[in-house]
Structure formats: C-alpha cells, structure tokens
A and B are shown apart, each in its own frame.
Chain A
Amino acid sequence: MIDMTSFDFVVQCGSCHPGGGPLEFDREGYRYDSLMSDPNSGLISGGENNLDGDYYKAQWDKSGVLEADCFLCHMPEYNFSARNQQINKLNFRWAATTGSGLAIVTGSVKEEKTVKVSYDKSRFDEDGRLSPHIVREPRTQTCLNCHAKPGWKKRGANFRARTDVHLAAGLMCVDCHPAGKYVDDERIKGKDVHQVGKGDDPGGHVRDDLDNTCRDCTQCHEKGYLNAPIANHSWLPPLHLDKIACQTCHIPQRPVKAALFQASDVFNPGTKIPEKGKYLWVFYGPDMKYWNHYGELEMMGFDDKPTDPYRPVFARYKEKIYPVNQLHSAWPGIEIEGKNGLAQPLMSDVYKMWMTFKNDITSYADLALIKDDNDDGVIEINRPEEIDALISAVTSYLRKTGYPLEGKRVVWVSNDRIYRSGKEFEQVPTEPWEASPYGNVHKYTHDIYPARAALGVNGCGDCHSRSSDFFYASVVKRPFDEKGNPVYEPQYKLLGLTSWSVSLGMFRESNLKPTLYVLFVVLISLFVIWAVDRAIEILGPPSIGLHHRLFSWIIGVAIFLLFVYLMGHRELLEFMLPSRFWLDSHHFGVGAGVMIVGTIALLIRLKQLYPGRRIRKRVASCFRCTLIAIGLAFAALSGIIMLMHPEALGVITRLSYLVFDLSLALIVVGIILVVFREIVSAKVPLVKSHHM
C-alpha cells in the first residue's frame, strides 16, 4: 500500500515548498533524476520500482527535480502561478525558469509534449548576463504566498495591517524571522545559512533544536530594536510576567476564524471544496459551528476572508500561559496488537467508502445510522450506534481492499478516547496544552493588538472578575455529547487551577478592592467632617451651636452621596477621580499610603491612651488600635511575599495578594473608627474661649 509518494509530494506540495531537500534527493541522498537516468539503477520511468515510495510510478528522468529555487524568495516579482503550472505539467526542471519570468516554457512531460524554452533576451545584457531585481530580505508578501493559507485554517492568522500592530507599523516577516549573517542567535547565524529564525509552536516539531531563534517580544520591546517602544509593565505585579506570555494579554481577540475541530470521519457536505480528499475534513469554527473553510477559501480567497472575531483559549505550555488553538479531532484509526500507538487507514480509502455509500446506500449501509443529531445540516458521530456503524463500515471497506487486518482492529478516535465500540473506550494521556493527542496545538503569535487594547488596560478586573472570560469562559472539552452539542468546561480547569483559587482572585478584585475603595471614600468623608469641625472651632463665631456641627456632617454626607452618584456614571467618575486602572496599577503606592496613614493614626491613638503603660498593653486595650496593628503586620508580611514572589511558597504567594488587600481594608476600617471617635468625642466648646 503506497501513500503519497515523493513524486506526488512534488506535485501536491511543491507549489509552496521551495525545492531542494526531499524535492531533489531521495531518502538515500541520490538525486532522483540522476539515479533514474542511470541504466544501472534498474529503475523504470513510470514503473512500480519495487513499491519504493521515492520512485513508485515516478518519471524523474523526464520531469527533472525541483532544485532549491533562490528567486522564489529573493525575487519580489517571482511568478508563483507560472511556476506551479510547470509543476502540474510535471515540468519540474523548468519551474524555476518560468517562475523567475526569464523564459516562456511550452510543452508538458505529463502530456508527453516536448518541453521547449524561449528566453526573454531583453532581460540579458550584451554579454548574455543577467542583473535581476533580487533582494536580501524577502518581502512579507513573498512569505505569505506560502504561509497565508495554512496560517488561516488552524492558526486563525490574518497577517494584515488592519489586525496586526506590527504590520501596521510597516514591519516585515524577516524583522522577527531573520536569517543569515545578520541574526543574533548563534544557532542560525552565518553567511548562506538559511535557517530562518523560528518560534516554538507546539504543533510543529521540525528542527525543534532551533526553537525560539526568532526575535521575540522582549528583544525589541526591552532593547528598542528598530526603535520599538519599550514596554513598561511596572504597574503589573511581576508574578504575571513570569507566568503569562506577552501574547496572552496582547492577543485578547482573534480577528478571523480558525478550525477548532477537525472531523475526519464523515463526509463534508460543503460546496466548492477544491480537492476530493478534502471532503473528508469537516471543520468547525471556534463557536463549534460547521465551517466550510475550503469553500470560503475557494470562493473568497485569502485576501477577502471574512471577519469572525473570537476570544482565544488559554493553555499552559512550558510553564507559561499562552493563547492557543487546541484542535479537537475525530477519525477512524487502526489499533495494532502489541503496539502502543495507532495507525490510520488511508484517508483516500475512507473517502472512497463514503462516496460508495453516497452513490449506493446499500453499500456500507451501516453509515446510514449516522445522523445529524444537532440539526446543523451536517452529520456527526457522537452516539454509540454511530460509532459502531463507522467502525463496522471502515472494517468492511478495508477487508474489501485486501488490507491485512490480522492482529488489527478499526477504532474510532475522538480526542483522547479510543473507542473499540460505541460503549467501550480507552483514554490516552494528553499534554497540558492539548485537547487531543492527535490534534495540533498552535500558539497564537501573529495579529497582535496595540498595547492600549491589551488585557489589563481596565485594571485587574479585565481578568480577575466574574464578568471576565479569562478564567470563567466556556472552553470546549469534547466536540459532541450524545445530542450533538459541545461539552464545555471553564477555562480555569484547562489551566489546571482550582475553583477556590480562582474564586479568591475574583473575590479580591470584584469585591474586596471595590470595598476598599469605598472605604477610602468613607474615610475621606469623615476626615472632611472632622476638618470642618476643626475649622469652625478655629474660625467660627464665639458661640457654636448644634447647627454648626450639623453643617460639617452635611458636607461629609454630601461628599459620600456624590460618590454614590458617580458610581452610576462611570465616565464622570473616572473624569473626577482616579480610574480603577490607576488605583490597581498604583497598588503599591496606595498600599504604602494606607500603611503610613494607619501607622500615624495608631501612634496618635496610642499617645492618647494611658501614657506610661507598655505599648503592647495599650494596643490590646484599644479595639481600633488592635485592628490597625494586625492590619499593618499582615500587610507588611504579605507585601514582602508579593514583592519577592518566591516560587517555593506557591499557594502562599498567591494567597498573599488576598491577605494584603484584606489587611489594607482592616487598616482603613481602623483609621475610620479612630477618626469617627475623634469627631464624636470632640469637645467642641459651645462658647469659644477668648484668648487675651
């Protein structure tokens, strides 16, 4: 049984792959055309050639090979379309010549028509030499000729200035993905070294040893490369930058759809799907609605893909939280006795099985049991009888093709569950970032939003609040339940967090901090009352009546009521008072201020109490003092832990954020009580004393 051969690989994949490597040399390192042209090789052009995947039914001797085509990247005017036409005609050897626009090529190896070359003499000087327009750094559009389409399907990348702050600023792909002698990373540095700086995508394992050789965010936004603005996160507790990737906050939303679920088990009912085999890939978008990706691509093209914004899923990858697309998968597999992994039937066989059934429903009739349970117009496999039906049909088809099934069993694989029948499955382990061990995971890196649109610009509540999607968003756990509806779980579970730890954060940001800020207003109101009383005492008439004292209370209460009014008018509130972001981002200063004022209040009160007694006894004898003192002690301790955020303390470090704010609240309550006592116990004389 032969899957895609090397010769087919050139035809099907050569449109993007730039030549060289497997498009030039076989697995033994021989150049395909040279070996096939050698009569001693025993290879026959177009023959089965011992079912050798490199030479099975190949015509390398006629087609030639695709050498690494330098102009494909380095000539901005390179004509991909002309190149690909030659590849489709099996004129591999001539592809570079037409792609570069140097000649017109006629004829076709595929159609057995003699291939002729006619060079454009105007491109050459009088000595027959060439001076083409070639560039050191490939243009962004050049990269997108190949990367645009695959960047959309599962990565949801738009690669447009409209949705990417870097492209809007005029940067090119090579600014972050450099190569050659101008790069910083020694792993890829050197003349003629064409290892383009790469990231670290969980879904890709080619040259993992070169992961993170691209310029990452910090290389520009900490050092100012290309005059990049220096990122200032001084407002953010450092713990965040240790645990969260830059992209997590700076990609709060994705602009275009990405496939969240790829079902390779049923027939795609969509239209305009360009290749037969692709009818076996049924895609669902981030909203788990059916998505005819290939149809959209065919009808609209990459440049006009529609806007379908959605919020990314967050997952832990190598100790940090990233925005990702975790693909869910469903496919028929083959379990082999004595082996751990799974094999799979040829997708072309599963396609043919479905086509046979569609043309004659009595063939593989079990497939008729597979229904559209969620009424979205697309059948899906989710119920036990549907699972059994698919396993049965695929098994029958493979038997019919002569596929050796001894010691093997067809299974249906849904994410991490391997179903041997509709009711019996085995669960296989997944990595923390994976939804399925058989589905790719792609970190989102492109389409970065401007800093002013990042998570956190409205304060901590952008993530740590009940109304935020960061922890409580519903994330797809399994594509379908038995009714055909997706099974969801809260985002925090995917991040490995517990409900209580997230709830504590929510309580802190949604309840405790707002309470603290309200206490500030109460304190300010009381302080105004106290101050007005003092002003009246000093500046007022000799005889101070009750109405004078009421006057100070009216002012204080009015201030408080004004604040209550402003609470309902957020824009006015933020115009008149510090915004929530300001308060959150100056939390250190706010905390320090509370502690200083608390300390002053404590000292004043202690001074009033039983002079001569020991401080500990004086504190213990005064409830207000006790509150402030406990608050100060805990605030100091938790503050130190927050600032140092020792890894070893783990949960304690997390708790310290809550304890710190609780302590501040305690201090403020203590201060309020002290001020209140000062107000009510003030002995404002009814007749002012006259000093001589």
Chain B
Amino acid sequence: MLNERTKIGAGFIILLILGAIILFKTKYTLSTVLKNESKQISVGGVCPPFHLYDEQGKVIDPVHGINSDKPYSPKQTCGKCHDYNKISEGFHFQQGRGEKPNPLTAERCLWVTSPGNYGGNW
C-alpha cells in the first residue's frame, strides 16, 4: 500500500506531466498556427483561415471562449502575415503626416503644417 505522502507525490508528478503536455501542446499548436498562417500567404496569395488577435498579440477564439471579450487588432491579426508598417505608410493612412507642406502653400498660409488634411488645410 502507498502511503499518503507517496500518493501526494505521485499526484503532483502526474499533474506536472499533464501540465507540461498541455503547455507543450498549446505552444505547439500556436506556433504551428503562426507558422502555417505566415507560410500559406507566401504560397498562394490567398489568406488561409486565421485567428484573430488582440492588441497584445493574444489569440481571440470566441468558439472556445479564449480572450473573446477583447476587440481584435487589425495590426496584430493581419500583421501576422502582412507588413503592417509598410502598408500603413500609404498616403491613404498617413494623410500628409510627416510631410512638409508644399512651399508655396506654406508661404501663403501660415497655419498649414502639412500638405494633408491632418495638420491644417481646408
């Protein structure tokens, strides 16, 4: 017969092993997902099924109730496969931010700080 201490010790070890398996499995699954998500985009140009991610980069999985109270982050979600920074350099996003105003406009209109609608124009 096993004594009480041995039982506790065995239970602890089993828990540790189970925990390790779960951690490993989760990590494996996530890394596989990430790998696959970024791999597949480079192969076909067609987005594979993908997870949503929140602003902290954590998976949102409403089906399994993981993180499902968080809004998704386009940057973290689409950015897994696409170059978010390159994309958002587009003038549709920047709207003249970081650009100097056209010299003639700057000379005429003292309030203008950028060529776009952001920073003073009409």
B16 within 8 A of A: no
Binds B, one of A61-69, A297-305, A498-506, A652-660: A61-69
A131: nearest chain-B partner, CB-CB: B49
A437 touches B108 (CB 8 A): yes
Scoring A64, A103, A125 by chain B CB atoms within 10 A of each residue's CB, the highest score goes to A103
CB pair A205–B63 under 8 Å, yes or no, is: no
Contacts of A129 in B (CB 8 A): 49-51
Q: Which residues of B contact A240 (CB under 8 A)?
A: none
A 77-91 binary contact with B (CB < 8 Å = 1; else 0)? 000000000000000
Q: Is the CB of B108 within 8 A of A18?
A: no
Tell me, in angstroms, the Cα distance from A64 to B55 when the chains sit together.
10
Tell me, yes or no, whether A195 is within 8 Å of chain B by CB: yes
Q: Which residues of B86-122 have CB atoms within 8 Å of chain A's CB atoms?
A: 86-97, 99, 101-102, 104-111, 115-120
Beta-carbon contacts of B32-71 to A below 8 Å, as 1s and 0s?
0000000000000101011110010001111110101111
Chain A contact residues, majority secondary structure: loop
The complex places the Cα of A690 from the Cα of B11 at a distance, in Å, of 143
Neighbouring B residues of A119 by C-beta, 8 Å: 60, 62, 68
Contact of B92 among A124, A194, A204, A438 (CB under 8 A): A194
Query: Is the CB of B4 closer than 8 A to any CB of chain A?
Result: no
Q: 1/0 per position for A107-138, CB-CB distance to B under 8 A?
A: 00000000011011100111111110010100
Contact between A121 and B91, CB atoms less than 8 A apart: no
How far is B21's CA from A596's CA once the two chains are assembled, in angstroms? 99
Q: Secondary structure of the B side of the interface?
A: loop
Asked whether A19 is an interface residue with its Cβ less than 8 Å from the other chain, the reply is yes
A68 near B72 with CB under 8 A, answer no
Across the interface, name the chain B residue whose C-beta is closest to A194. Answer: B90
**A528→B17 CA distance, assembly (Å):** 115
Number of interface residues of A (CB under 8 A): 67
With A70-B78, A193-B90, A196-B90 as given contacts, are A205 and B97 in contact (CB-CB < 8 Å)? no
- The answer to whether A19 and B47 touch across the interface, beta carbons within 8 angstroms, is no
Who on chain B is nearest to A99 by CB? B74
Inter-chain contact A128/B63, CB cutoff 8 Å: yes
* B84: interface (CB < 8 Å): yes
User: Across the interface, which residues of B come within 8 angstroms of A17, CB to CB?
Assistant: 92-93, 95
Chain A neighbourhood of B27, CB < 8 A: none
Most buried by B among A20, A179, A437, A438: A20
Q: Which residues of A contact B108 (CB under 8 A)?
A: 340-342, 428, 437-438
> CA separation between A23 and B93, bound complex, in Å?
8
Which residues on the B side are within 8 Å of A96 (C-beta)? 71-74
Which residue of B has the minimal Cβ distance to A29?
A: B98
28 examples of A-B residue contacts, CB within 8 angstroms: A13-B117, A17-B93, A19-B93, A20-B94, A21-B93, A68-B93, A71-B74, A96-B73, A103-B62, A117-B69, A120-B62, A124-B63, A127-B49, A128-B59, A129-B51, A130-B51, A131-B47, A191-B83, A194-B87, A194-B93, A195-B90, A195-B91, A210-B91, A339-B110, A340-B107, A341-B106, A341-B110, A431-B104
